[in-house]
């Protein structure tokens, strides 16, 4: 007679900075480590492994990383004093760009890995347990990491991310992505469709396709020919139970006729598009190496809105790119007024080491960058508020994704990605139901169900504007 003892589960904590693709990557890292015994932990304290999944896009990304590593050094020492060990890993784009500096400044880091190598994490953990120094994996491997990821994945919930494309061939002057994520690569159609079906089977009703330049997608189709994003969206729309589709982040140069037609033809494709323009000045766009003009962007917007009249737009803007004059900035403001955005992300230019713009002449003074950013954000906030108010009195389907902030509240997403909350039963989660909007708040809408035996009272909730 034999007895078996369950293997103790090891605790894994992942801190994620940056874009939705990093969120997706963090989830897949957890999936890769699950077969060797790692289960999620709520905090880094006492965890057997901590991964910092970094982003190089935001300002002061490196400084934030080393600040966090300093705190984790103490947690690692405390863990060792208790008789345990903590494997500390740095992943993502900062790891890819600055692996040597990380190990030099923080020698207590055990593993440094780039975004293309996390499928090797179990092997890296084993090597770290034997190695005297850090294990570093920041090369661009020849094999496709997606071929080595497990099919089994933790459910993401009602809404889910799905990476279909990685890397960038555009080489914008301000951006590190081509250096940290590599050249553009598209996953084969079969792999994308298979993962989408698994997500839906696990409860996802809305799937957002991810890519650094997602609309540059050119994956191999089942017949051996390349598919564009429009054709991929059509195939995804045929999956039973998949109610909503979105994609991000796109580039104006890769908006083609078939993608515009998909916005016209597919009810599952939500009427919200994030389309970064960065500047409204042709002179600055040329300095940025964007490959399009302001007029090109406006023509694309007009064609998209002709195809889908209820389409709402989001974008990215940089204030104070090297060489930008006050007149250039005013052209950006003119473009914003011309288009009208439902939301947007805006930043003042900050140099990224190794990018062409970092060493460019005519750097803009910090005071001028600050003033321009404040003016731009004020206009964008005004447009977002106006768009939110324009939804008041409308009735449209809301996909309910979870409980709200207050007892008795349930929350969801509008077709335009706005958070919507109302008082209602948690049984709504995972369903789509019509909601009449009664009030608009800085970052959300509130309303009541438009159908049913018992109406639900609105519970207004004021929210602070994002910093």
Q: Say if residue 384 is in the same domain as residue 257.
A: yes
Examine residue 454 and state whether it is found in any structural domain, yes or no.
no
How far is Cα 243 from Cα 280, in angstroms, rounded to an integer? 35
Burial class (CB in 10 A: 0-12, 13-18, 19+), 284: buried
Task: Report if pTM > 0.85.
Answer: no
Asked whether residue 465 is assigned to any structural domain, the reply reads no
Check whether residue 74 and residue 122 sit in a common domain: yes
d(CA 460, CA 449): 14
Q: Compute the distance between CA of residue 361 and CA of residue 198 in angstroms, rounded to an integer.
A: 50
How many Å apart are CA 93 and CA 57, to the nearest integer? 9
Asked if residue 190 belongs to a domain, the reply is: yes
- Asked whether residue 2 is assigned to any structural domain, the reply reads no
Asked if residue 23 belongs to a domain, the reply is yes
- d(CA 231, CA 235) in angstroms, rounded, equals 6
Kindly tell me if the per-residue pLDDT of 88 is higher than 50.
yes
Residues 417 and 376 in one domain: no
Give the least confident one: 2-16, 23-37, 92-106, 403-417: 2-16
Query: For 369-387, what is each residue's pLDDT tens digit?
Result: 999 999 999 999 999 999 9
Q: Is residue 222 part of a domain?
A: yes
Average pLDDT of the chain, as a whole number: 89
Out of 109-118, 148-157, 451-460, the most confident range is 109-118
**Contact between 114 and 137 (Cβ < 8 Å):** yes
The average pLDDT across 139-161 equals 70
Binned at pLDDT 50, 70 and 90, residue 118 comes out as confident
Q: Decide which of 77, 102, 137 is a domain's last residue.
A: 137
User: Residue 297: which region, alpha, beta or left (left: phi > 0; alpha: psi -120 to 50)?
Assistant: alpha
CATH of the domain at 353: 3.80.30.20
> Do 213 and 284 belong together in one domain?
yes
Q: What is the CATH number of the domain that holds 399?
A: 2.40.50
**Cα–Cα distance list, 410 to 212, 452, 458 (Å):** 32, 16, 11
Q: Quick: pLDDT tens for 232-266.
A: 999 999 999 999 999 999 999 999 999 999 999 99
Query: Is 351 a domain residue?
Result: yes
Based on the domain organization, do 402 and 423 belong to the same domain?
Answer: yes
Are 289 and 332 members of one domain? yes
Domain-embedded: residue 257? yes
- Mean pLDDT within 113-141: 79
Q: Given 96, 113, 137, which residue is the final one in a domain?
A: 137
CA distance 318 to 59: 12
Q: Would you state the pLDDT for residue 256?
A: 98
Domain boundary among 137, 170, 194: 137
Which residue do the tokens 């007024």 mark? 337
Pair (197, 306) in one structural domain: yes
Q: What is the pLDDT of residues 202-217, one digit of tens each?
A: 999 999 999 999 999 9
Residue from 262, 269, 163 nearest 210 by CA: 163
Q: 133: domain CATH number?
A: 3.40.50.12160
Binding site for [4Fe-4S] cluster: what residues are annotated? Answer: 19, 55, 93, 168, 172, 175
pLDDT > 90 fraction of the chain, expressed in percent and rounded: 67
Same domain as 175, residue 311 = yes
Residue 31 belongs to domain spanning: 10-137
* DSSP tally for the chain: helices H, then strands E: 12, 21
Average pLDDT over residues 323-327: 98
The string of DSSP letters for 402-427 reads EE-SSTTEEEEE-TTS-EEEEE--GG
Please compute the mean of the pLDDT values over residues 79-96 and round it to a whole number. Answer: 88
457 pLDDT higher than 60: no
355 and 442 inside one domain: no
> How far, in Å, CA of 165 to CA of 249, rounded?
10
Same domain, 368 and 439: no
| Distance from the Cα of residue 4 to its chain's centroid | 43
- For residues 335 and 302, state if they share a domain: yes
Which residues are annotated as part of the binding site?
A: 19, 55, 93, 168, 172, 175
Q: Identify the burial level of 241 via C-beta atoms within 10 angstroms of its C-beta, where 0-12 means exposed, 13-18 middle and 19 or more buried.
A: exposed
Give how many domains the chain has, as a whole number: 3
Q: List the one residue out of 121, 118, 145 whose CA is nearest residue 37.
A: 121
10 Å Cβ neighbour count for 327? Answer: 9
Judgement on whether residues 330 and 417 belong to the same structural domain of the protein: no
Report the percent of the chain where pLDDT is more than 70.
90
């Amino acid at each position: 007679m034999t007895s078996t003892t369950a293997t103790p589960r090891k605790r894994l904590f992942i801190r994620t900075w940056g874009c939705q693709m990093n969120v997706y990557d963090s989830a897949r890292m957890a999936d890769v480590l699950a077969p060797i015994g790692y289960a999620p932990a709520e905090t880094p304290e006492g965890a057997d492994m901590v991964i910092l999944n970094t982003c190089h896009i935001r300002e002061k990304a490196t400084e934030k990383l080393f600040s966090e590593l300093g705190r984790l050094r103490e947690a690692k020492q405390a863990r060792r004093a208790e008789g345990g060990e903590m494997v500390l890993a740095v992943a993502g784009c900062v790891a890819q760009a600055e692996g040597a500096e990380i190990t030099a400044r923080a020698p207590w880091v055990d593993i440094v890995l780039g975004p293309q190598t996390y499928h090797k994490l179990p092997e890296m953990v084993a090597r770290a347990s034997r190695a005297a120094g850090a294990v570093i994996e920041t090369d661009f491997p020849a094999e496709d990491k997606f071929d080595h990821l497990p099919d089994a994945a933790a459910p993401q919930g009602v809404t889910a991310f799905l990476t279909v494309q990685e890397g960038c061939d555009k080489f914008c002057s301000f951006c590190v992505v081509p250096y940290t994520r590599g050249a553009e690569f598209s996953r084969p159609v079969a792999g994308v469709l298979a993962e989408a079906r698994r997500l839906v089977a696990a409860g996802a009703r809305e799937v957002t396709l991810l890519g650094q330049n997602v609309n540059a997608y050119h994956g191999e189709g089942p017949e051996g020919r390349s598919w564009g994003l429009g054709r991929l969206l059509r195939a995804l729309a045929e999956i039973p139970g998949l109610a909503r589709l979105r994609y991000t982040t796109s580039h104006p140069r890769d908006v083609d006729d078939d993608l515009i037609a998909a916005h016209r033809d597919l009810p599952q494709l939500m009427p919200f598009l994030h389309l970064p323009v960065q500047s409204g000045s042709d002179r600055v766009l040329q300095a940025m190496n964007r490959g399009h003009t302001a007029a090109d962007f406006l023509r694309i917007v007009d064609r998209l809105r002709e195809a889908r009249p209820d389409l709402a737009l989001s974008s990215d803007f940089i204030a104070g790119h090297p060489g930008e004059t006050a007149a250039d900035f005013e052209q950006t403001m003119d473009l914003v007024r011309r288009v009208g955005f439902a939301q947007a992300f805006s930043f003042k230019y900050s140099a990224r080491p190794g990018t062409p713009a970092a060493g460019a002449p005519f750097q803009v003074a910090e005071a001028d960058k600050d003033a321009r950013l404040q003016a731009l954000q004020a206009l964008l906030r005004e447009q977002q508020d106006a768009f939110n108010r324009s939804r008041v009195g409308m009735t449209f389907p809301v996909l309910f994704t979870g409980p709200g902030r207050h007892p008795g509240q349930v929350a969801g997403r509008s077709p335009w990605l706005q958070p919507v909350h109302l008082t209602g039963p948690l049984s709504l989660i995972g369903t789509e139901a019509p909601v009449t909007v009664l009030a608009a708040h800085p970052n959300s809408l509130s309303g009541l169900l438009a159908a049913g035996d018992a109406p639900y009272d609105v519970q207004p909730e004021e929210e602070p504007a994002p910093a």
